[in-house]
Each structure stands twice: as C-alpha cells, then as structure tokens.
C-alpha cells in the first residue's frame, strides 16, 4: 500500500516484542531454563516473582522462544501447575504474538497440543493472540488445526477472524473439516473488499466507507499481515474527520463485530492509536463500548503520555482534541479531570466550530467574497477540512479560483490558510494544491506555495505541476496564456531549470537609421526583442 504509517508502525511493533537478541545474563538464562525444561516448581516460583524481576517476562533464547512460547509448547491439559503459570504470564502481559525464529507463535503451539481451552485462553488474553499470523513457511494456527483434523479448534479460529482459503480446503482430511472450511469461505467477503475498506478508512474516502459499511457481509475479522484490523486504519488516519463522523464510523465497525480490544504484536490497540493521533470521536466510542483504558504508551500510563504530547503540541485545534481525550480517559482511571487554563475563552460555540468555519470559508472563496474570507480567516478553522460535496479543502478551493480572485488576493489567502496548518503537499480529491493551482493558471497560489517550500517535484497522475502547466499553456490564448507562461518560468526558476524562452508579441518598428547596407534596423529590432524578454523575465523573478 506504500503508506508512511505502515513503515512507522512496523518499527513500533518491533519495540514491543521480545528484547534484542543480546546474550542472556546468567540470571536470565537460569530463569528461562525452568520453562524450557518444564520444571513446574521453578516455573511457579518464577511467575510469582515477575514483578520484582523487571523485564524477564520478555526475554527469549537464541531461537527467540519466550517463557510463554515454552509453556504453550509443553502445555499439559488439565495440569494445575501449567494452568497457574499460563494465567500468571498472560495476566502480566506476556506477549502471545512473540514468534520464534521460524515464525511459530504460542497460538500455533496451542493448536498443536489439541487443547481447545488453551487456544481459547490465548484468544481471550488481555493482550490477545493475532489469529492469522503466518510462520516463515506460511504456517498458521488454522493450518495446524486443519492438518491435525481438529474441526472444533478450526471453527473457533474462524469465528475470531481466521481466513479459510482454497489451499486449506485442499488440506482437509475429512468431509467434516472440508465442509466447515467451504462454508466459512462462502460466508466471508473477498479479501479485496476488506482491503478496500481498510484503505478507504485511512484515506477518508467517505463514499467508499459508507458503501462498504452498509453491506451485511462485511468481514469483521479481517486483519492485515501486521495484525491490524479495520479500526487500526481508522485510528491512524490523518484525514480530518468530524467528531460525529468518527463516532458514527466507529459505532458501525463495532456493530459489524470489528474488535475494539484487538492488539498488535507490539501491544498497540485502536484506543492507543486514536488517542495518540487526536481522534476524540473514536476514543469516546471505544470507551463507551467498554474497552480497556488502563494502558501504557512509550513506557508511560496513557494519561501521562497524552498530557506530555498535549503540552508539546503547537496546533491549538489539536491541543483541544487532546484535552477532550485526556478528560475522557481520566475518570476511567479514577482520576479527576483536568482544567486546562491555557485554553482560550470560548465566546460561543459557532466561533469555535472549526469545521463549520472551514465549510463557510470554502463557500466564501467560491463566491470570491473577500470581506467574508478575511473575517473567517481570523477565526479558528480546520485548514484540512474536506467539503463533502466538492471534496476540496480551503486551500484547494483557493488554488482553483483563478478567475474569481485576483492573484494578489489568492496569494494572501493561500499564505494565511497554510499558516493555519493546511497541508501544502497533501493529496485530496486526487490533486495537490500546487497541481490544482498550476493546472488552473492561478499565479498567486503558485507563488505562495513556492515561497513556502511546497514539493515542486511531487507527481499527481504521473505529472508534476510544471508538466501540467506546460500542457495547459499550449491551448491558452491572451492574458491566460501569459499567466501560464509566468507560472512555468516561476516553477522552472524555483527548481533551477533553464527558463523556457516564450515568443514575445512584436513591438512597433522604429524608423530606419543610417548605416551600412540594409540599415541598422535588423540589429535594433533584435536588441529590442531581447530587451523585452529580459524585462518580462525580471517581472517574473521579482514577483
């Protein structure tokens, strides 16, 4: 999918699994050997002392096998010692998704024991197992259940989101297992549809979101290969959803059965990510649904982590979102809500309705109502708000207003909107602001974006803004053509590209001067043309 958050999240996941494979200390080696050897008495003693032993619960041997991995591998059904040790490890948040060097997880071990209660325990753990994790050779918990002909375990895994594929159906040894898998395959939607909704939630494609959420056969158990379900995509989106949209979409996902308590291998949950990314509507709905709030981020309790990032946040709108989220979480932790004195006084709800002000701003720009535009720019507004009808932001609306606003006004408004936090390089409705301005011939906005360091080489639909402007210039005439020429030369100059030498309209011919045969007229005319070109270039470069 090529999105930046996948690279970031992959790095974060690595920090939450087993510790780096440095040699174990003598104490660590002795602690882990009890689980490797199945020494019940020592295992009980070890888990009873985890609190005082720091990070021992995360240590692993040279093959990346943790204490929990060994317990699930050697588990004896009905053995009270193993039950005690397992319960304590999970209660103290041993990671059930920490795989060994071959990609084999504790859940896969559990399936191989044939103990359905052990499988169920891992799936219901405080940090639950990711049901469809794959081993290095494509192994999965469901594959082990199929090859061992354990239809009861296979049914449990499928109910938690495991995917029945044609390859697994081919491995079935009995009609009972084959029928179970075929029925599960018929009932789930295609993987392409689930991935489409995942992308739509992350990108803010409301039409696709509404269409897919309206379908009764939505695969609520879908997770990608990082263990992220649909709520993860929504929680990590930087699309400017309204709080109402956040609440309604989260409610719809939960109603379909998407798990709000799901966790990645690194321990990240939808609530953690939604709080970190300042989505109060998602946080509120998840809390109302009963998800666990007593969580830690970056080694800190969630409330302390959020207070820290709130204090460092310079964007007032995002600070207010963090304040809402913090005061949603504190009562659930039995802590008093906070008063944030730094927040400005609130003269009225409309003044602080950032999305409404942004919507009004878009309308005013479309009408070229400069007086109203200037008044709205003084109020808090969401600079990245997307109008649901036009799918344009305030900045994109200014960028396409080449015939309604003067270049001077367009430049002024674009600078103000970017200063308020608009994404100058973001792609909305398929275009960047620079692409829209260059394609529309909006010189003022192009100048503003160049001045503020917009990405001039970013491609949209396979073209840069400069390429779009060059195409448009060829079909324009008159003043419009000149505007495109100025845009082209401005973009070329900003990128250090040789300036295109556009044809200049002929100048009046002066009276012939005495001189050699043919007179001086050819030389004078040539010099005059060169002077005119230099004058025009000077105007462009000094704008």
376-429 pLDDT, tens per residue? 998 888 888 888 777 789 998 998 876 678 888 989 999 999 988 888 888 887
HSE at residue 451, side-chain half, CA atoms within 13 A, is 16
Check: CB of residue 163 under 8 Å from CB of residue 188. Answer: yes
Please give the torsion angle defined by the CA atoms of residues 297, 298, 303 and 305, in that order, rounded to the nearest 10 degrees: -140
Q: How far is the C-alpha of 426 from the C-alpha of 505, rounded, in Å? A: 38
Give pTM, 2 decimals.
0.39
Q: Which pLDDT band, with edges at 50, 70 and 90, does 175 fall under?
A: very high
DSSP symbols for 387-412: -TTT---HHHHHHT-TTTS-HHHHHH
Q: What is the pLDDT of residue 478?
A: 86
Q: What is the pLDDT of residue 191?
A: 61
Please give the torsion angle defined by the CA atoms of residues 227, 228, 230 and 233, in that order, rounded to the nearest 10 degrees: -160
Check: CB of residue 251 under 8 Å from CB of residue 285. Answer: yes
Q: Which pLDDT band, with edges at 50, 70 and 90, does 168 fall under?
A: very high
Q: What is the pLDDT of residue 385?
A: 86
Q: What is the pLDDT of residue 25?
A: 85
Q: pLDDT for 191-231, tens place per residue?
A: 657 777 888 898 888 888 988 888 877 777 778 767 789 99
| Maximum mean pLDDT: which of 362-366, 519-523, 531-535 | 362-366
Q: pLDDT for 288-333, tens place per residue?
A: 999 999 998 878 899 999 999 988 887 888 889 999 999 999 999 9
Please provide residue 60's backbone torsions phi and psi, each rounded to the nearest 5 degrees: -140, 155
Higher per-residue pLDDT: 19 or 366: 366
Q: How far is the C-alpha of 382 from the C-alpha of 260, rounded, in Å? A: 28
What's the sign of the alpha-carbon dihedral 316, 318, 321, 322? negative
**Percentage of the chain modeled with pLDDT above 70:** 83
Between strands 296-297 and 300-301, the pairing is antiparallel
- From the list 491, 398, 485, 412, the residue with the least C-alpha distance to 448 is 412
> What is the C-alpha radius of gyration for the chain, rounded to an integer number of angstroms?
31
Q: How far is the C-alpha of 454 from the C-alpha of 424, rounded, in Å? A: 6
Q: Which pLDDT band, with edges at 50, 70 and 90, does 503 fall under?
A: low
Q: What is the pLDDT of residue 228?
A: 87
Q: pLDDT for 228-245, tens place per residue?
A: 899 999 999 988 899 999
DSSP symbols for 188-250: SPPHHHHHHHHHHHHHT-HHHHHHHHT-TT--TT---TTS--HHHHHHT--S---HHHHHHHH
**Six token digits for residue 425:** 């390089």
Q: pLDDT for 463-499, tens place per residue?
A: 899 999 999 999 888 888 898 999 999 999 989 888 8
Higher per-residue pLDDT: 150 or 461: 150
What's the sign of the alpha-carbon dihedral 521, 523, 524, 529? positive
Whats the size of the chain, residue-wise? 543
Q: pLDDT for 22-54, tens place per residue?
A: 677 888 888 888 888 888 888 888 887 654 444
């Amino acid at each position: 999918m090529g999105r930046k958050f996948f690279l970031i999240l992959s790095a974060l996941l690595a920090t939450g699994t087993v510790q780096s494979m440095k040699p174990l200390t003598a104490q660590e080696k002795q602690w882990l050997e009890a689980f490797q050897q199945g020494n019940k008495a020592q295992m009980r003693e070890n888990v009873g002392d985890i609190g005082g032993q720091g990070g021992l619960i995360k240590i692993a041997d040279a093959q990346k096998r943790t204490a929990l991995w060994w317990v699930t591998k050697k588990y004896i059904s009905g053995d009270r010692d193993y039950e005690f040790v397992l319960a304590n490890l999970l209660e103290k948040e041993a990671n059930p998704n920490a795989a060994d060097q071959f990609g084999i997880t504790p859940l896969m071990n559990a399936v191989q024991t044939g103990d359905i209660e052990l499988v169920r325990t891992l799936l219901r753990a405080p940090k639950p197992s990711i049901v469809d994790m794959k081993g290095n050779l494509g192994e999965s918990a469901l594959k082990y259940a199929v090859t061992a002909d354990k239809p009861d375990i296979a049914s449990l895994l499928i109910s938690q989101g495991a995917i029945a594929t044609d390859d697994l159906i081919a491995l079935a040894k009995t009609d009972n297992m084959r029928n179970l898998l075929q029925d599960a395959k018929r009932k789930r939607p295609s993987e392409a549809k689930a991935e489409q909704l995942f992308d739509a939630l992350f990108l803010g494609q409301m039409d696709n979101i509404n269409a897919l959420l309206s379908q009764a056969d939505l695969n609520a158990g879908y997770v990608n290969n990082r263990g992220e379900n649909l709520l993860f995509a929504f929680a990590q989106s930087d699309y400017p959803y309204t709080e109402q949209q956040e609440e309604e979409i989260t409610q719809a996902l939960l109603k379909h059965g998407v798990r709000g308590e799901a966790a990645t291998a690194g321990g990240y949950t939808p609530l953690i990510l939604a709080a970190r990314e300042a989505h109060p509507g998602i946080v509120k709905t998840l809390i109302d649904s009963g998800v666990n709030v007593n969580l830690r981020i970056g080694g800190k309790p969630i409330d302390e982590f959020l207070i820290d990032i709130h204090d460092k946040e310079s964007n007032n709108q995002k600070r207010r979102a963090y304040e809402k989220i913090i005061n949603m979480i504190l009562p659930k932790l039995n802590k008093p809500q906070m008063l944030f004195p730094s927040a400005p006084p609130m003269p009225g709800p409309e003044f602080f309705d950032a999305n409404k002000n942004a919507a009004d701003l878009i309308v005013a720009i479309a009408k070229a109502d400069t007086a109203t535009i200037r008044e709205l720019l003084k109020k808090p507004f969401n600079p990245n708000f997307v109008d649901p009808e036009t799918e344009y932001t305030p900045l994109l609306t200014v960028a396409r207003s080449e015939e309604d606003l003067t270049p001077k006004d367009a430049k002024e408004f674009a600078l103000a909107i970017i200063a308020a936090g608009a994404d100058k390089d973001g792609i909305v409705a398929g275009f960047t602001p620079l692409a829209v301005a260059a394609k529309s011939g909006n010189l003022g906005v192009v100048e503003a974006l160049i001045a503020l360091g917009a990405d001039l080489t970013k491609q949209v639909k396979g073209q840069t803004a400069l390429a779009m402007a060059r195409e448009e210039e060829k079909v324009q005439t008159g003043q419009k053509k000149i505007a495109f020429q100025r845009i082209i030369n401005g973009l070329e100059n900003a990128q250090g590209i040789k300036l295109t030498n556009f044809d200049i309209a002929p100048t009046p011919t002066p009276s012939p001067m005495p001189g050699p045969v043919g007179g001086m007229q050819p030389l004078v005319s040539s010099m005059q043309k060169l002077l005119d070109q230099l004058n025009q270039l000077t105007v462009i470069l000094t704008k």
